[in-house]
């Protein structure tokens, strides 16, 4: 089917996304590990249903609003993998009353607050900083984790479920081998905390799991739960890390070409920072905002081709609010006319989804996200 | 008035924004130059009305959608300062039928398309590349501009109004003096094109104008129109360039603190890439996502303080989707508790406005943008 695209649009290949979902769900199932995918990547009830079809009933989100959205769409086992925002305690209590809610804590201040302010039952995960230094209790300080767990025991509504981490530092890895090494090291660090707690008579679950580690590690290790999110679509960053192949990419942004400059092999597209986000992928020592795929001769079809071809040397070099300046090698440049579409693999698809708020499937159906209800 | 803030929120000081608007409007008026402010910064009908109160009736926008939004809100003299997107010709014709529309062209392909496809009258600006190499006809090639104008003369609906440029390179300036020099150079380059055309018997207007140049240049020079946008709020990038003072900043983002780390003087706030955008300001050789203001003792007031104090050494060092990792010097760090609000001046306010889609004025009124109707 041919779709008429007027503006920067996120094209979604449903078949590929479903294949990505089933592959990860199956991997977790075979290893007896709970699969609690992170829905911050797709932010859509329709795509959530594709996970249900793959036997997924537990999910992760990154905000209270996202939990509310998915709860409204029938999800009743949700972990908010973000340190509790005390200012949203009313909404958190409302969620705790209606669904099976997991929340994340990492300080005694937050624990003390929750012990007095929670009015419904919730499960608590202690966030561990496994070495990325964003948030969480340092993994080297298991006694601090113990202290939080002991403080939580004063509450009859809060039940400690386990320890949880996100190994963000894995995105700085230089190779697939290094990704596997960091994943395995994270499993070990989490289990060292678990063993310390076991020595104190406490049994806890371990939840980890980013897309690079969960995709590339054959053995997911001694964990109870994985929470990858990006793998549903993958993106230029994952491709650059060697995490996925081109045929795994399930979402690209189609941008109308509005100007072309033969003297510098650059085209300007309608597609800028407010569409793609300003996140970058570092390749060959340069920061690029996206990679170009399939500048094919059947541009007028306006559909995501079944097979994407990466245009070597094609990338968005500069972005302003609505403009994207895209560098293209000679032959691909020559084929492209003003008014054609250029297809871009976003550097970081989660942010692009959040910005665009809507997908168009390759058979022409719109799918909205929570940002565009 | 006290406002209860739960989530990352864009606080707007209406008094400062109005002062910024009146100052720029008055400067243009005194010099006999048309003021056609760029509305891509605020994207709001309510704030648009503040410009009307300052005698502004002509505006600039960066997309067809934005033109439609402001046309619905009573604006009838709008220039879309973005190269015509051929795929939106139906919407462009509809706008041309209903308002006084200005459009931007820079290639013969687009001109030929418009000459056959326009069904209502519009004014045309030829976009000039004044040296920034984003889009436009190179200013050194006035004969190419002439060719476009001649081609446009075949249309009875399209009237050439003038030549237009955006000196984006001004943002790479190292000092206020360099900004004034680039502004003045841009005026000269545009007038060299104008003079060439005058030699061919063609009279055209000149439209330029970015916030740094229009704010810092006392004499706006031989131009017919200026189109700055950012000045309505200013931001960390403008502050860093020496374009504005702290007391000119009219919009800051209030972010709840969710975690604090004394060992690294960092707090984690609810406020990440999807709120602030990943645009940066380069200070001291480092890229920062925002600057911290007023970590004051009356945090519980939840209102934008009338006087912002910049916290030296306070900045958002890292952003992920929902997390902001903010570095703070010792004394300010010590005053801040989990649950408090931290106020951030965004690196690039236009992108932050686009992401958040709503303001809260310091007297507690919500103002929505076109992204959140």
- Report pLDDT for B20: 98
Sequence-distant (≥ 6) Cβ neighbours of residue A39 within 8 angstroms: A48, A59, A60, A61, A66, A70, A229
Span B203-213, pLDDT tens digits: 999 999 999 99
- Report pLDDT for A64: 98
- Report pLDDT for A1: 44
**B-interface mutation test, from A259, A267, A317, A334, most B Cβ less than 10 A away:** A259
Angle (deg, nearest 10), helices B89-98 and B108-117: 60
Q: Would you call A339 and B83 a contact, using CB atoms and an 8 Å cutoff?
A: no
Span B258-273, pLDDT tens digits: 999 999 999 999 999 9
Span B54-104, pLDDT tens digits: 999 999 999 999 999 999 999 999 999 999 999 999 999 999 999 999 999
Query: Which candidate from A110, A261, A322 shows the least CB-CB separation from B82?
Result: A322
Full 3-state SS string of chain B? CCCCCCCCEEEECHHHHHHHHHHHHHHHHHCCCEECCECCCCCCHHHHHHHHHCCCCCEEECCHHHHHHHHHCCCCEEEEEEECCHHHHHHHHHHHHHCEEEEEECCHHHHHHHHHHCCCCEEEEEEEECCCCCCCEECCCHHHHHHHHHHHCCCCCEEEEEEECCCHHHHHCCCHHHHHHHHHHHHHHHHHHHHHHHHCCCCCEEEECCHHHHHHCCCCCCCCEECCCHHHCCCHHHHHHCCCCHHHCCEEEEEEEEEEEHHHCEEEEECCHHHHCCCCEEECCEEECEEEECCCCCHHHCCCCCCCCEEEEEEEEEECCCEEEEECCHHHHHHCCCCCEEEEEECCHHHHHHHHCEEEECCCCEEECCCCC
Contact A74, A67 (CB under 8 A): no
Per CB-CB distance under 8 Å, the chain A contacts of B354 are: 274, 321
The whole-number average pLDDT for the span B22-51 is 98
The dihedral through the CA atoms of A142, A148, A152, A158 has a sign that is: negative
The separation between the first and the last C-alpha atoms of chain B, rounded to the nearest angstrom, is: 25
Q: What is the average pLDDT value for chain B, to the nearest integer?
A: 94
Span A258-284, pLDDT tens digits: 999 999 999 999 999 999 999 999 998
- Report pLDDT for A362: 81
The whole-number average pLDDT for the span B172-196 is 98
- Report pLDDT for B303: 54
- Report pLDDT for B75: 98
Task: Pick the closest to residue B272 from B319, B342, B341 (CA basis).
Answer: B319
Q: Give the DSSP letter of residue A303.
A: S
How sure is the predictor about B296, in pLDDT bands with cuts at 50, 70 and 90? low
**ipTM entry:** 0.95
The pTM assigned to this predicted structure is: 0.95
Per CB-CB distance under 8 Å, the chain B contacts of A66 are: none
Between chain A and chain B, how many beta carbons pairs sit less than 8 Å apart?
141
How sure is the predictor about B298, in pLDDT bands with cuts at 50, 70 and 90? low
Per CB-CB distance under 8 Å, the chain A contacts of B9 are: none
- Report pLDDT for B259: 98
- Is 70 exceeded by the pLDDT of residue B49? yes
Q: Is B351 an interface residue toward A (CB < 8 Å)?
A: yes
- Report pLDDT for B330: 87
The separation between the first and the last C-alpha atoms of chain A, rounded to the nearest angstrom, is: 25
In the predicted model, residues of chain A with pLDDT beneath 50 are: 1, 299-301
Task: Pick the closest to residue B343 from B9, B6, B4 (CA basis).
Answer: B9
Residue of A nearest to B256 (CA): A85
Query: Which candidate from B109, B256, B321 shows the least CB-CB separation from A40?
Result: B321
Q: Is A141 an interface residue toward B (CB < 8 Å)?
A: no
Per CB-CB distance under 8 Å, the chain A contacts of B277 are: 273, 277-278
């Amino acid at each position: 089917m041919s779709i008429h695209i007027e503006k920067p649009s996120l094209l979604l290949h449903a078949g590929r996304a479903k294949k990505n979902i089933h592959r990860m769900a199956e991997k977790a199932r075979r290893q007896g590990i709970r699969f609690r995918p992170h829905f911050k990547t797709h932010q859509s009830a329709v795509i959530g249903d594709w996970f249900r079809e793959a036997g997924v009933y537990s999910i992760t989100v990154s905000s209270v609003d996202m939990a509310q959205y998915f709860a409204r769409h029938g999800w009743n086992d949700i972990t908010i993998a973000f340190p509790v925002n005390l200012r949203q305690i009313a909404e958190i209590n409302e969620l705790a009353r209606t669904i099976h809610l997991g929340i994340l804590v990492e300080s005694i201040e937050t624990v003390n607050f929750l012990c007095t302010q929670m009015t419904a039952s919730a499960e608590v995960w202690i966030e561990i900083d496994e070495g990325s230094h964003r948030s969480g209790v340092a993994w080297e300080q298991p006694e601090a984790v113990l202290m939080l767990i002991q403080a939580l025991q004063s509450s009859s509504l809060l039940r400690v479920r386990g320890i949880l981490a996100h190994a963000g530092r894995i995105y700085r890895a230089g190779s697939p081998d290094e990704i596997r090494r960091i994943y395995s090291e994270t499993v070990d660090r989490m289990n060292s905390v678990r063993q310390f707690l076991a020595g104190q008579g406490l049994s806890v679950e371990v939840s980890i799991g980013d897309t690079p580690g969960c995709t590339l590690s054959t053995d997911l290790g001694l964990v109870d739960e994985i929470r990858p999110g990006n793998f549903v679509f993958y993106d230029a960053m994952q491709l650059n890390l060697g995490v996925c192949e081109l045929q795994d990419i399930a979402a690209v942004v189609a941008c109308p070409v509005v100007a072309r400059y033969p003297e510098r092999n650059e085209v300007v597209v309608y597609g800028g920072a407010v569409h793609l986000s300003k996140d970058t992928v570092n390749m060959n020592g340069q920061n690029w905002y996206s990679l170009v795929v399939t500048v094919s001769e059947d541009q007028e079809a306006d559909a995501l081709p079944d097979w994407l071809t990466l245009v070597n040397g094609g990338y968005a070099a500069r972005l302003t609010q609505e403009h994207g300046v895209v560098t293209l090698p000679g032959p691909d440049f020559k084929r492209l006319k003003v008014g054609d579409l250029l297809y871009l693999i976003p550097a970081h698809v989660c942010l692009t989804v959040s910005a665009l708020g809507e997908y168009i499937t390759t058979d022409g159906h719109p799918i909205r996200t929570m940002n565009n209800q």
